[in-house]
Amino acid sequence: MLTRRTLLAATPALLATPALAETFPTRSITITVPFAAGGPTDVVSRLVAEGMSKDLGQPVVVENVTGAGGTIAAARVAQARPDGHTLLMHHIGHASTATLYRKLPYDVQESFAPLGLVSDAAMTVVARPDFPAADLPGVLAAIKAQGDGLTLAHSGLGGANQLCGMLLQRAAGRALTTVVFRGSAPAITDLMAGRIDLFCDQATNTAPFIRDSRIKAYAVTLPQRVPGLDLPTTAEAGAPDLAMSTWHGLYAPAGTPAEIQERLATAIRAALREERLLTRFAELVTAPASQERATPAWHRRHLAEEVARWRPIIQEAGQYAD
């Protein structure tokens, strides 16, 4: 009798599991983006939202919540109801904040349910048009020789270009004088004008200026070359440790039911097969995540690896946001 009662009591719960996945979503879904409208993360988010909406049968809208290096948006999603209707799109900066911020109102790994990676964008090592180095080894030699006599731009703590700049200085073994800008656009403007020596930024931002020879480019930071840019990889140029990507991933609050997580992951993978998304990603010099990488399990492992990778680099630099 006890066994029978147990089975009978469990029956509603067992039946509820597929029903939950079948009824979700019940209303529009919001993807919270930690950066301003029109930037790379916002553009990627809107393209993914469009494809997910088609697959889920409900509107998927983007809300821009800026400030504090993305931590305001992340905190909002961490505290949201874990029902799959409030999500976070974040890039590599989500992993770096685990170390950059010594006091956070959430745990980068434990407060979120990773749903899947979305994209990878190469970083480019670039310089003012008249920078004398002919190649990346020449850039590293110049940094070793001149150190803080050279200037390096970045657009804020924890951003991909600051992290790439850390790797550049680490590879050269000397610190540069860093100049902080309010975004990549003004940094590139000063680079073209010769007021800044070096910059490390997404190919999405730098590609048009590289192609027009308005800035000097040395390498891309992905393991493979980037179509449309005649540049070696950092590994090919003799600096394998200067490898990274600006990856984006989608998150739900921790505690979101596994069935809903998987339904959202399925929608991500459907979005990444959309022809419009693939065309626009190519224009943005951004690669869509593979179907294998656009899964909760892969994303969870990748986030843990990235947190572990950047912790000693940031601690060694001694640059914190709080």
The predicted pLDDT at position 10 comes to 45
Q: Are 35 and 41 in contact (CB under 8 A)?
A: yes
Based on the fold, state whether residues 127 and 183 are members of the same structural domain: yes
pLDDT for 9: 43
Q: Between the CA of residue 183 and those of 6, 69, 190, what are the distances in Å? A: 59, 12, 12
Domain of residue 207 covers: 122-220
235 domain-assigned: no
Return d(Cα 174, Cα 188) in angstroms, integer.
23
46 assigned to some structural domain: yes
Q: What number is the average pLDDT over the span 133-156? A: 96
Between 184-192 and 203-211, two packed helices, what is the crossing angle to 10 degrees?
A: 30
2, part of any domain: no
Q: Same structural domain for residues 80 and 101?
A: yes
Task: Please check whether residue 292 lies inside any domain of the structure.
Answer: yes
Q: Is 250 strand, coil or helix?
A: strand
Beta-carbon contacts of 120 under 8 Å, excluding residues fewer than 6 positions away, are 222, 245, 246, 247, 286, 287, 289
Q: What is the per-residue pLDDT across 287-319, written as a single tens digit (0 to 9) for each?
A: 999 999 999 999 999 999 999 999 999 999 888
CA distance 68 to 146: 33
pLDDT value at 1 more than 60: no
Domain CATH number, residue 290? 3.40.190.150
Question: What is the average per-residue pLDDT within 262-279?
Answer: 98
Q: How confident is the model at residue 5 (pLDDT cuts 50, 70, 90)?
A: very low
Q: What is the pLDDT of residues 218-234, one digit of tens each?
A: 999 999 999 889 999 99
DSSP 8-state assignment for residue 19: H
Could you give the number of structural domains in the chain? 2
Domain annotation covers residue 155 = yes
Whether a cis peptide bond, with omega within 30° of 0, leads into 25 is yes
H-type helices in the chain, by residue range?
A: 2-23, 40-56, 71-78, 93-100, 136-146, 160-172, 184-192, 203-211, 258-271, 275-283, 296-317
Establish if 17 belongs to a structural domain.
no
- Residue 285 shares a structural domain with residue 214: no
| More reliable by pLDDT, 21 or 244 | 244
Residue 115 sits in the same domain as residue 127 = no
Residue located via tokens 């988010």: 45
Domain-terminating residue out of 185, 220, 255: 220
Question: Could you tell me if residue 21 is inside a domain?
Answer: no
Question: How far from each other are the two terminal CA atoms of the chain, in whole angstroms?
Answer: 60
Q: Are 241 and 171 in contact (CB under 8 A)?
A: yes
Whole-number average pLDDT of the chain: 92
